[in-house]
Amino acid sequence: MRRSLAFLAGALLIGALAAPAPAFADDGDGGFTIEDPRITESSGLAASHLHPGVYWTHNDSGDGPYIYAVDSRTGKTVATVTLSGIGRPRDAEAISIGPGNEIYVGDIGDNFGGRWPYVWIYRLPEPKVLKDQTIRATQYVVKYANGPRDAESLVVHPKTGRVYIIDKKEDGGHLYEGPARLSSTGTNVFRPIAAVDLWATDAAFSPDGRQLAVRGYFGGIAYAWNGGRITRQGRLDVPLQRQGESVTYSLDGSKLLYGSEGTDSPVQAESAPGESGAGGAASPSGRATPRAGSGGGSPLHANYKVGAVVLALGLVLVFGLKRLLGRKR
């Protein structure tokens, strides 16, 4: 009986210490879960400029002209915006907010590997009041200079307002630059300007426009922007997710939030490159600097302090049991 109690106590103690501590963040930027049952294929993510702690998202193909404002403190949808003045979205894959609090939605997906001769971008003002409403959007026709392609990443530079797209290719794609100003009456041709070494599913500009974060299913890369002449800085600390589809900077630029498709999908936060102690910051080797994960981080992260305590307690428990059994003999 005494031996069983010792094993039980030890197991409970180790389990309690090894369990990850919950992350709390007053601003809601420490990660959250999207609870809206309508949002089953969250494919884009953008931090609101007017409502701190709120994130805009949308479904992939098969939904409608809707974007959703999710309160990261609760995970609940606080506003559904219906876009009017556009056709029915075909495969919305990305969302970004540019200067003047203008929201851009990229209807740029092409699961047929380049069947569509053109894709669309929708632009609308971010609403000042969060409530269910309909807002008229401007629709732009987009073509690529080198022919149709699949893409899931659209970003708007926070200073210039210029729109960029990264195509999605397993062996790496390219950064495409749009016209200085999009035209709602003609075709907007996007031209490749730089290679991207990733099977990209989303991207985001830092609030100051100096860095570009690009994510894929199994990793990510931090680039210095340099006016579009991007240079690789290091790897991003991307959490392991079921189907990683989205990324955005927090409003203050201190964190990167990564989203995934699925019902009750998690949005996980990691420190942004360049932040104090942040993973993904450039190092002389070009690799991300190691750190412990922040709220909602990758399950592959190790908490070395907890590990050391658990190991010590385990050794104490083993030696204690040996002494106990020796006495009984």
Buried b (16+ CB within 10 A) or exposed e, 118-131: ebbbbbbebbeebe
Note the pLDDT of residue 193. 97
Note the pLDDT of residue 29. 79
Note the pLDDT of residue 126. 98
Indicate the pTM of the whole model: 0.78
What DSSP line would sit under 213-256, residue for residue? EEE-SS-EEEEE-GGG--EEEEE--PPP-SSEEEEEE-TTSSEE
**What sign has the CA pseudo-torsion 251, 256, 261, 262?**
negative
What DSSP line would sit under 81-125, residue for residue? EEEESS---S---EEEEEGGGEEEEEE---TTSS--S-EEEEEEE
**What sign has the CA pseudo-torsion 49, 219, 194, 172?**
negative
Note the pLDDT of residue 242. 87
Note the pLDDT of residue 203. 98
Q: Which residue(s) pair with 245 in the sheet?
A: none
**Distance between CA atoms of residues 117 and 305, nearest Å:** 55
Alpha-carbon separation of residue 244 from 99, 215, 241 (angstroms): 27, 8, 5
Place of tokens 């999710």: 70
Q: What is the pLDDT along the chain (329 residues), one digit of tens a residue?
A: 333 333 333 333 333 333 333 333 445 678 999 999 999 999 999 999 999 999 999 999 889 999 999 999 999 999 999 999 999 999 999 999 999 999 999 999 998 877 899 999 999 999 999 999 999 999 999 999 999 999 999 999 999 999 999 999 999 999 999 999 999 999 999 999 999 999 999 999 999 999 999 999 989 999 999 999 999 999 999 999 989 999 999 999 999 999 999 999 999 999 998 764 444 344 333 334 333 333 333 333 333 333 333 334 444 443 444 444 444 44
75's tokens: 């995970």
Note the pLDDT of residue 28. 61
* Residue 249 · residue 236 · CB < 8 Å: no
